[in-house]
Chain A
Amino acid sequence: MNPEPLALVGGAIVLALVLGSTLGWAATRMPHSVDGLVERINALLPQTQCGQCLYPGCRPYAAAIARGEADFDRCPPGGAATAQAIARLLDRPTRAPDPRYGATKPRQVAWIDEPRCIGCARCLPVCPVDAIVGAPRLMHTVIAAQCTGCELCIAPCPVDCIELRAVAAAPAARATPSPAGH
């Protein structure tokens, strides 16, 4: 019997073992899992939890992007910067956010007109970040520092006493241009 086919088969087996173990090692060492990708996309999202992307929060949307189910241009609060960052992560050409999912607005927080609040507590369960304090028949108020401005509390309010207010931008004094009068 000609030994050559045997040697070839043996070589192939050795090669397969080497490559297989290398791949196995790489799989444990390198970030490859969908979960890892979800976390990395989630880290780029603004965490407004507003649901404008039609997913129930930022993490579910990140998971949908990772699965290839949704595109990265559905996040109005994140705006162009977020779309660009995710596009860069996924190595895809960047694109402006799709206006059908909403407009990018400056940072805003909810504000409750307290005298008008009837204490119905309907806005409490919808707040994704527990930023509304209150109890039935007691006045409610928004913890401004915790509010993401997701607008989800607006619709359930039966007396329309919640409105969104723009947050004053940080003082820009430090960014004033120099006189450049050399």
Chain B
Amino acid sequence: MAPNRKFALGLVLDGRKQSAMQQPIAAAPAPAQAFVLLDQGDGRRGTPSVRVGERVRLGAAIAQADDESGAALHAPVAGRVRSVGRHESSPDAGPGIVIDNDGSDERDPQCEPCPEADSLPPEEFIERIRRGGIVGLGGALFPTAAKLAHGRAGSITHLVVNGAECEPWICCDDALMRESAGEIVRGAQLMLRACGAAKCTIAIEDDKPEAGAALTAALAAAGDTRLSLAVLPAVYPAGAERQLLTAVTGLEVPQRAWPPEIGLLCQNVGTAAAVARLVRTGEPLIRRIVTVTGSGVARPGNLEARIGTPIADLIDAVGGYAGAPRRLWSGGSMTGRALPDDAWPLTSAMNCIVAATDADLRAPVHAEQPCIRCGDCARVCPAGLLPQELHRAVRSRDDVLLERFGLADCIECGCCDYVCPSAIPLVERFRQERVALRERASEAARASQARLHFEHRERRVSELEASRRREFEDARRRACDDFPNEG
């Protein structure tokens, strides 16, 4: 491995982004019924704070986070709450809140602009972001307020705004950078102030010249010397947080550490724009830009859509299905997740919806075959792991080996899958093993609890037994003392 590598590892992939970049971002119509999932895709569920039948206004809080690592959810439409729980048309999507849109888009009075943002104490500003439910729109959905607050607690020196959108199909950030570069720069300035960093780098890839030009112009207009632009080579996965930070700063985030521990903070461009929007209009996170693309839709493009809009509505907004779509997934082709049904609602984690026809899919060369230990996967792994060894550890279910070969460090980018000549679905195995590992760990914790309870009870029972025997002996001795002749 060469030292000072920027993106020594990873893949150069066909982006397939041109088709969706033909037109500017269009506004998707507000849905007749919004279905806001409690779990927006990060596995955390908030607690609904509205009741069925209650009328909510646009932007009102409808669910509260259970802890610091969750975020509040807000009403993407104004109207009455129809139900809280699973939706009859897509029960597998999980519980959520259904709101019937009354079409008025009446704003909640709490959603006020914040013109004094630049003079607010950072803690208060972070609290506003937290109330606005802003989360990392790169897909991880980590609450922006928690990230910034951590920055205040520690010593963040460098904020990196992630505009590297490396995965095939996805181009929502590219479109946003072209059209709202000023908003992104404004958001970056606000976050810079909130986290206390000294400088900020907006990182994009060299395959987005228009976005680069727009950002350069916006930076010039802002005239802020703390902000700069870094152009990186377009290699997948350049936009993965750790890989991007290494490329921009030359520092590597250590294992099991997170970026603030080495003074870095990474925020997506969409998040920056959402922060700026919150300040400018007072609107919490109720909409995002999503790429709707694939050969299976008529007019691929980017939509600004409200969270909770059914996927089917988004497809209609780009002219409906075309050709013979074979698969529907959210995200890009490398890390995306299958959507079982287009009745599922848009979540804040979904940056892209792809309706793929056969032409979009890589035909399977052959069925899965045994690993031939060619090492191709290790040559592309951007996390520097040995996927072939990890796969062996998964197969043998050996927790020690899984730990040693760094299952926890896999970023699930899919590069190993892509190059595997034996067509082994490595990432899928790793994902499943992570779940299984967690399950085994909680099983072990339960068992050790049960062992403690059992041992405690054993001790108690034997002590009880002993004290009873003592009492009995004492009583017998006393009886013998009283009637010595009969003893």
Q: Which residues of A come within 8 Å of B, CB atoms?
A: 42, 45-49, 57-59, 81, 128-131, 146, 148, 170-182
Contacts and interface: CB of A to CB of B under 8 A. Distances in A.
A34 B336 CA distance: 52
A173 B448 contact: no
A47 B450 contact: yes
- A-B pairs with the 7 shortest C-beta distances? A129-B453, A47-B450, A179-B329, A47-B447, A175-B435, A182-B362, A179-B338
B376 interface: no
A58 B337 contact: no
Interface size range of chain B in the complex: 35 or more
Interface centre among A81, A170, A176, A178 (most CB of B within 10 A): A178
B410 to A, nearest CB: 13
B65 to A, nearest CB: 18
9 contacts: A129-B453, A130-B457, A131-B453, A146-B453, A177-B431, A179-B336, A179-B338, A180-B428, A182-B333
B289 to A, nearest CB: 21
A173 B453 contact: no
Contacts of A48: 450
B360 interface: yes
B418 A176 contact: no
Interface string B428-463: 100110111011001100111111011111100000
A148 B446 CA distance: 8
B43 interface: yes
Nearest to A146: B453
A57 B458 CA distance: 10
A182 B360 CA distance: 8
Contacts of A131: 453
B336 A182 contact: no
Contacts of A173: 39, 43, 94
Given A46-B443, A57-B454, A170-B442, 14 more contacts: A45-B447, A47-B447, A47-B448, A47-B450, A49-B450, A58-B454, A128-B454, A129-B450, A173-B43, A174-B43, A179-B329, A179-B333, A179-B337, A182-B333
Interface of B: 39, 43, 94, 327, 329, 333-338, 354, 356, 360-362, 397, 414, 417-418, 425, 427-428, 431-432, 434-436, 438-439, 442-443, 446-451, 453-458
Given A46-B447, A170-B439, A182 B418 contact: yes
Contacts of B436: 175
B329 A181 contact: yes
Given A129-B453, A174-B435, A180 B337 contact: no
A134 to B, nearest CB: 15
A18 to B, nearest CB: 36
B333 A181 contact: yes
A97 B317 CA distance: 57
B431 A175 contact: yes
A81 B435 CA distance: 16
Dominant SS among interface residues on chain B = helix
A47 B335 CA distance: 39
Contacts of A58: 451, 454
B140 to A, nearest CB: 13
A175 B412 CA distance: 12
Contacts of B43: 171, 173-174
Contacts of A81: 397
B360 A181 contact: yes
B450 A181 contact: no
A131 B457 CA distance: 11
Interface centre among A48, A170, A174 (most CB of B within 10 A): A174
A129 to B, nearest CB: 4
Contacts of B439: 170
Interface centre among B425, B446, B455 (most CB of A within 10 A): B446
A52 B450 CA distance: 16
B362 A129 contact: no
A181 B435 contact: no
A95 B374 CA distance: 34
A173 B330 CA distance: 14
A178 B432 CA distance: 10
Contacts of A182: 333-334, 361-362, 414, 417-418
A146 B452 CA distance: 11
Contact of B337 (A59, A130, A171, A178): A178
Contacts of A175: 431-432, 435-436
A178 B335 contact: yes
Contacts of B427: 178
Nearest to A84: B397
Contacts of A47: 446-448, 450-451, 454
B17 to A, nearest CB: 16
Contacts of B450: 46-49, 129, 146, 148
Nearest to B326: A181
B454 A176 contact: no
A9 B166 CA distance: 79
Contacts of A128: 453-454, 457
A178 B447 contact: no
A48 B360 CA distance: 51
Nearest to A57: B454
Contacts of B361: 181-182
A182 B236 CA distance: 13
A170 to B, nearest CB: 6
Contacts of B458: 57
Contacts of B362: 181-182
A181 B436 CA distance: 24
A177 B338 contact: yes
Contacts of A170: 435, 438-439, 442
Contacts of B457: 128-130
Given A58-B454, A129-B454, A180 B425 contact: yes
Given A47-B454, A58-B451, A128-B457, A178 B94 contact: no
A172 B47 CA distance: 20
B127 to A, nearest CB: 30
Contacts of B449: 146
Nearest to B330: A179
A171 B38 CA distance: 14
